Amino acid sequence: MASKVADLVYWRSIGKTGVVFTGLVVGLASLFQLSAITVLSHLCVGIMCVTFPLRLYYKLLEALRWNQGVHPFQSHLDEDGSLTDEETVLLVEKAVLLIAFAVTELKRLLFIDSIIDSVKFVVLLYLLTYVGLLTNGLTLVITGVIAAFSLPLFYKRQQVRIRRVVKTVRAFIRRIRNMCIHLYNMVALSSTPAPAPTVPPAPKQKAKSK
């Protein structure tokens, strides 16, 4: 399954990836005007408008004895999409672990287990309110689909340049951080009061013997 997704994302089969990518984008864009049930129904009807005449054509050839009864979509029908018991259990375990981790992390953030992490979460939610004013969830999903089919291929082709840029940015951030730490240490040292000089006790004078 993961290898098939990687083949689609990296455009190893241009025809198959183009069909999947176009179908996803057009289907999601259609949800702006139509409901999900309507889009799914029209999609299935559109597919059957192609497969049904082709199946009848092959059936006619078989009736005329011009064909040996070959099914045009036999390769798709032979694909085994079922899951074994072990694979089903593994998928369910992964889903349960992911849900449990999400619930635990959300509970930790909402009930202020770590002040810094909760502050970051509040800032993220505040920024998401502005994102919600500018766009909606469906637009973000379409953007995510386009990014999923374009960014991996772009990174694969421009991997050397991207690594060079990332390395330069990291060095710049490290330099800025060291400068800030150095300035903070200088300010902390200058604001620390100097210790008062200690006066040595006066030596005791011995009494003169008469």
Domain positions in the chain: 159-191
From 134, 146, 138, select the one nearest 33 (Cα to Cα): 138
How high is the mean pLDDT of the chain?
83
pLDDT for 123: 92
- Rounded to 5 degrees, φ, ψ at 158 are -110, 35
How far from the centroid of its chain's Cα atoms is residue 59's Cα?
46
Per-residue pLDDT for 61 more than 70?
yes
Greatest mean pLDDT among 4-8, 138-142, 169-173 lies in 169-173
Q: Are 61 and 71 in contact (CB under 8 A)?
A: no
Dist. CA 152–CA 17, nearest whole Å: 13
pLDDT at 210 (0 to 100): 44
DSSP category for residue 136: -
pLDDT in tens, 135-147: 888 888 888 899 9
**Which amino acid type is present at position 69?**
G
Residue 32 parent element (H or E): none
Q: Which of 21, 13, 26, 11 is nearest to 146 (CA)?
A: 21
- Supply 166's token pair: 């990332």
85 has a pLDDT exceeding 50: yes
